[in-house]
Amino acid sequence: MIKPGIFISFEGIDGAGKSTHIEALAAAFRAQGRAVTLTREPGGTPLAEKLRAMVLNDPMDALTEALLIFAARRDHLVQVIEPALARGDVVLCDRFTDATFAYQGGGRGFDLGMLSVLEQWVQSVQGLPADMIRQPDMTVWFDLAPEIAAQRLSGARVPDKFEAQPVEFFRRVAQGYAQRAAQSPQRFARIDAARDRHQVWQQITSAMVRRGWLAIMVAANGGPK
């Protein structure tokens, strides 16, 4: 019998430490025999990766940006996420729709009502009840002060157009994440990303163990290297 698929998204402002831990969590799930699909947004398919490059680097207005992100999301859902969940995979996605509400809605000040309409259109998928849309089963939110994130990012690499934004932009993004978490408290697992790497990993795995998704021993033996 195929185990039900699990959809987990990782969210947070740039510099919060998501990438380090998403790989470790993938390894932990594989260690207990689960197939894992590790992916990202914008991106995850050849088409969506092309759209990602445009969104991250090309100047455009906020509506164009939002439309491209949701177009990439639709292709990603149809081509990767939904088939993986149907196979019983654990899908670990570096960002999903919460990032759009945080960055385009909070950071850029784009209309949240319009984003909600796009969310309904794009994330309605076959097999879900008519009044439901595809959302992660859990969103791991790396909550970090923008000033600390900026220090971590400084000199790390050539920044894209979002990473190059001032701290005030990321304050608005962080507030956007907080608002989404307040709207869906059962889905969000807030992680204090200011703690050291081991403590962050403990917070993540504790959330997985509470859901019954990871065995305690597997969680204890894993972690980012």
- Can you give the pLDDT at residue 128? 80
113 is in an annotated binding site: no
16 is in an annotated binding site: yes
17 is in an annotated binding site: yes
**Is residue 147 over pLDDT 90?**
no
For 191, the enclosing helix (H) or strand (E) is strand 188-192
Query: How would DSSP label each residue in 31-50?
Result: HTT--EEEEESS-SSHHHHH
18 is in an annotated binding site: yes
49 or 223, greater pLDDT: 49
Ranges of H-type helices in 12-110: 18-31, 46-57, 62-76, 82-87, 97-100
What is the C-alpha end-to-end distance of the chain, expressed in Å? 34
Q: What is the DSSP letter of 165?
A: S
Q: What is the DSSP letter of 190?
A: E
- Can you give the pLDDT at residue 158? 61
109 is in an annotated binding site: no
> Residue 150 — very low, low, confident or very high, per pLDDT cuts 50/70/90?
confident
pTM over 0.85: yes
> Residue 156 — very low, low, confident or very high, per pLDDT cuts 50/70/90?
low
15 is in an annotated binding site: yes
**Is residue 204 over pLDDT 90?**
yes
Residue whose pair of structure tokens reads 């740039």 in the numeric block:
14
127 is in an annotated binding site: no
Average pLDDT estimate for 183-195: 96
3 state DSSP class of 204: helix
66 is in an annotated binding site: no
- Distance between CA 83 and CA 85 in Å, rounded? 6
Percent of all residues in the chain with a pLDDT value above 90, rounded to a whole number: 75
Domain 6-211, second-level architecture: 3-Layer(aba) Sandwich (3.40)
Please give the structure tokens belonging to residue 151.
């220090």
Nearest of 61, 26, 60, 59 to residue 40 by alpha carbon: 26
96 or 18, greater pLDDT: 96
Q: Output the average pLDDT for the chain.
A: 91
Average pLDDT estimate for 161-184: 89
